[in-house]
Amino acid sequence: MDGVPLSDFQAVFTKSKKIVVIAGAGLSAASGIPTFRGAGGWWRKYDAKALATPEAFARNPSLVWQFYHYRREVASSAKPNAAHWAIAHFCASPPPGATFRLITQNVDGLSTRALHPNAPEIAKPIEMHGNVFRVKCTHCDYSANDYNTPICPGLAGTETVFRMGQPEPIVRVKDLPSCPECKGLLRPGVVWFGEQIEREWDISMITKGCDLLLVVGTSSTVQPAASFAQDAKDNGAQVAVFNIERTPGDTDADFLFLGPCEQSLLAAFGLEEDEIDDS
């Protein structure tokens, strides 16, 4: 728990053989990625959560695409922070005799960008909620990564409307991103409310099999992180929580580190910023 000597965690970290990180919005906070939760969960005049549903996209694909275009633009200009680099360091080069996996709830792609281009496939994060730079066709099986900015001419500049106090733009469906194979309407490749998370079975097996689970930048009481953390705990793993503030689930953690995770993770891992490859 909070107040436990750092050396106690480091001893557990050193002897652990299957280390898993479950990361949430707090991981990317220092990179300037908005969380759209709580009192700040609004975009323009809309509740951001209400836009993240299949029903919202069916009703108004233009508005939903403007929201995700904005998120893509923010993520494009953001850079991984020290916490991303620290996790990427161990994903690519785990402690001797150990494995180190990242499961992220974030859709900004920053954890992947923190990896060296030649990092092994196993080092790449499992993105349970998808990625804003992925697109999927609503009519065929087409799915791909698209890093163009803007993703299409029709959405160019719509990200500045609210900041500039301009009228709500109207983007016709025919001017939204379209499938290169069937010309159907593309949708953001993210998991919306009411949809199943990606690779749920893999995540369940990985967390049940770990001996050390790090919950970073998210509450261990919020689903789906809560169920995976409980599964790990039930199967004998120790749980360390790295979060900006206390949450109700902290009492079940073996270790608790409060404060910005870009600071607490480096301290817990015994890393200095100049040891991390952020080139």
The residues near 88 (Cβ < 8 Å, ≥ 6 apart) are 80, 111, 114, 115, 116, 119, 123, 277
Q: Which of 147, 139, 129 is nearest to 189 (CA)?
A: 129
Query: Could you tell me the sign of the dihedral formed by the alpha carbons of 70, 73, 74, 75, in that order?
Result: positive
Q: Which residue has the tokens 């599964």?
A: 231
Q: What are phi and psi of 14, to 5 degrees?
A: -65, -35
Q: Is 29 left (phi over 0), alpha (psi -120 to 50) or beta?
A: alpha
- The CB-side HSE value for 201 (13 A sphere, CA atoms) comes to 0
Tell me which of 89, 116, 129, 139 is the catalytic residue. 129
129 is catalytic: yes
Question: Which structure tokens are listed for 26?
Answer: 């707090």
Question: Which structure tokens are listed for 151?
Answer: 């993703």
* Rg of the Cα atoms in the chain: 19
> Catalytic amino acids?
129
